[in-house]
Amino acid sequence: MICLKVYVRLLGFFAFIIFQVQGQNLDSMLHGTGMKTDPDQKKQEDGVTLAPEDTLPFLQCYCSGHCPEDAVNNTCKTNGHCFAIIEEEENGDIIMASGCMKYEGSDFQCKDSPRAQLRRTIECCRTDFCNQDLQPTLPPPSSPDGFFDGSIHWRAVLISMGVCIISLIVLFCCYRHYCKWAAKRQCYNRDLEQDEAFIPVGESLKDLIDQSQSSGSGSGLPLLVQRTIAKQIQMVRQVGKGRYGEVWMGKWRGEKVAVKVFFTTEEASWFRETEIYQTVLMRHENILGFIAADIKGTGSWTHLYLITDYHENGSLYDYLKCTTLDTRSLLKLAYSAACGLCHLHTEIYGTQGKPAIAHRDLKSKNVLIKRNGTCCIADLGLAVKFNSDTNEVDVPLNTRVGTKRYMAPEVLDETLNKNHFQSYIMADIYSFGLIIWEMARRCVTGGIVEDYQLPYYDMVPNDPSYEDMREVVCVKHLRPVVSNRWNSDECLRAILKLMCECWAHNPASRLTALRIKKTLGKMVESQDVKI
């Protein structure tokens, strides 16, 4: 602290000196300073050696405007220099003067400062009355740039002002940002209080959904209720991450929910999936239960939320990796998945009917396992709708594509008719056949079971390209390898026949979702499986 005070005082002292040298009145300096012209020059008086500034005046000069009190007939005496000066006053008047200058400091005075506050010129000489012949002229007016370039004083002032202005701007921006944040926080808290009153305490998600199904349009919860639920959800932990974003397990009033947080680059997927889930009559026990969708954000970040039922068993992919199946559980999984796919593909006619929908990205990672051992189909971000009234296929404006490993031959070789909705339906059936193959591999018969593998695991790399899949599926017409033990079991043999009809190379030869559902339904009845 002491060092800081000393530093401030020194800085003030130097600033004062600079200001005095550059801006003070010349009158007080012409008689109070001296000049040393020759360090060897000495004067002897009474045998004592004197410094030049202490010698008696010996030089006579003409004086006008700067005459001392002892001047006679405009003549003064000095031991320094004679001078003549011209200067411009603040009001613009030009003044010329001459006189005597003491030896002390005359070196500086005769040179003068080009940075003086007023325009002036001073000339010096050192013979008697020599200043009568001097004719000093004013320097040209200084430009604005010159005014600032060399002046330490003005540089310091400008830098200080700049720092102060910038500091004030930063403080103002921070204060404004804080005010906005506080206002939004207050508004958010007020909304939460209103929301608590809007959805009475004790209402469960099932109650809200049942009410919307019975009294609403069948397209899901009202938007206000959805936004209310989204605001009140507490994120607990992340349970998954994919190319679209992240999946979190959250809680709403103690109930577990799944929160799918989309990357901002996947806004089209979020919008499409939200639109599909809110389609009239879309809710089905084998379609992932939709709860709410909302966009949260400020100017700096945006979160796209899709809130659905939470299934702790995870996806079929995760489930099969760590779980083996018996015949009953295999049929239960396959049949429930077929029911969900059939509901998607089926158009329901009526005043408020449901359009036919094709999934376009069916795979084991997009099928979730419910607690009762059945399946539900999820991730509808690439889904396609068919409007029978206008006979138009509603394809989403989305840069995403399906998973290459599960793509049908007509998709890989680009022969799929994009204007014909049935083409998308048949592509889904091919993908469904591969999912059934994944399930069947994990079914134990005779104490034998295969390890879980993805389709074509032994034919293509882990991340296959279009060319890899086209070569295997379209050119060589290969399909996933089937174990010989399947033919020795009645159930697996029937499943094998079913999946082969699903992944047929010709789309027209494939089964429909309804046919698959009925076939598996009969097998479920024969095995007396309770679903």
Residues 455 and 320 in one domain: yes
- The CB-side HSE value for 23 (13 A sphere, CA atoms) comes to 11
Instruction: Kindly state whether residue 95 falls inside one of the protein's structural domains.
Output: yes
Q: What is the pLDDT of residue 40?
A: 43
Instruction: Kindly state whether residue 155 falls inside one of the protein's structural domains.
Output: no
Residues 231 and 283 in one domain: yes
| CATH number of the domain enclosing 369 | 1.10.510.10
Question: Of 309, 335, 358, which closes a domain?
Answer: 309
Residue 62 forms beta bridges with which residues? 75
Among 34-48, 258-272, 507-521, the minimum mean pLDDT is found in: 34-48
Which stretch, 177-181, 254-258, 299-303, 437-441, has highest mean pLDDT? 437-441
Please give the average per-residue pLDDT across 490-514, as a whole number. 95
Residue 10's pLDDT band (cuts 50, 70, 90): very low
Residues 385 and 481 in one domain: yes
Instruction: Kindly state whether residue 151 falls inside one of the protein's structural domains.
Output: no
Percent of the chain with pLDDT over 70: 77
Q: Which residues, 6+ apart, have CB-to-CB distance to 196 below 8 Å?
A: none
Checking DSSP bridges between strand 384-387 and strand 356-358, what pairing results, if any? antiparallel
Residues 441 and 344 in one domain: yes
Residues 118 and 239 in one domain: no
pLDDT at 515 over 60: yes
Q: What is the pLDDT of residue 5?
A: 47
Residues 429 and 487 in one domain: yes
Instruction: Kindly state whether residue 138 falls inside one of the protein's structural domains.
Output: no
Q: What is the pLDDT of residue 24?
A: 43
Residues 319 and 255 in one domain: no
Q: What is the pLDDT of residue 111?
A: 76
Q: What is the pLDDT of residue 184?
A: 62
For residues 412 and 466, the answer to whether their CB atoms sit within 8 Å is: yes
Residue 32's pLDDT band (cuts 50, 70, 90): very low
Instruction: Kindly state whether residue 34 falls inside one of the protein's structural domains.
Output: no
Instruction: Kindly state whether residue 266 falls inside one of the protein's structural domains.
Output: yes
Give the total number of structural domains in the chain.
3
For residues 246 and 238, the answer to whether their CB atoms sit within 8 Å is: yes
Looking at every residue in the chain, the average pLDDT score rounds to: 81
Residue type present at position 160: S
Catalytic pick among 361, 379, 428, 489: 361
Percent of the chain with pLDDT over 90: 41
Question: Of 309, 335, 364, which closes a domain?
Answer: 309
Rounded (5°) CA angle 201-207-210: 150
Q: What is the pLDDT of residue 120?
A: 83
Please give the average per-residue pLDDT across 230-246, as a whole number. 85
For residues 322 and 313, the answer to whether their CB atoms sit within 8 Å is: no
Tokens of 213: 């199904």
Please give the average per-residue pLDDT across 167-177, as a whole number. 89
Question: Is 389 an active-site residue?
Answer: no
pLDDT tens per residue, range 372-385: 999 999 999 899 99
Residue 375 belongs to domain spanning? 314-526
Task: Find out whether 111 is annotated in a ligand binding site.
Answer: no
Residues 244 and 356 in one domain: no
Q: What is the pLDDT of residue 433?
A: 97
For residues 345 and 425, the answer to whether their CB atoms sit within 8 Å is: yes
DSSP designation for 260: E
Instruction: Kindly state whether residue 332 falls inside one of the protein's structural domains.
Output: yes
As a whole number of angstroms, the distance between CA 13 and CA 459 comes to: 86
Q: What is the pLDDT of residue 72?
A: 85
Residues 72 and 110 in one domain: yes
pLDDT at 196 over 90: no
Q: What is the pLDDT of residue 186?
A: 62
Q: What is the pLDDT of residue 467?
A: 95
Residues 286 and 330 in one domain: no
| CATH number of the domain enclosing 269 | 3.30.200.20
Residue 358's pLDDT band (cuts 50, 70, 90): very high
Q: What is the pLDDT of residue 108?
A: 77
Residues 304 and 318 in one domain: no
| CATH number of the domain enclosing 68 | 2.10.60.10
Tokens of 453: 């593998």
pLDDT at 301 over 80: no
Residue 147's pLDDT band (cuts 50, 70, 90): very low
Q: What is the pLDDT of residue 151?
A: 57
Please give the average per-residue pLDDT across 284-312, as a whole number. 85
Instruction: Kindly state whether residue 81 falls inside one of the protein's structural domains.
Output: yes
Question: Of 309, 334, 358, which closes a domain?
Answer: 309
Residues 118 and 230 in one domain: no
Cα Rg of the chain (Å, integer): 47
pLDDT at 136 over 60: yes
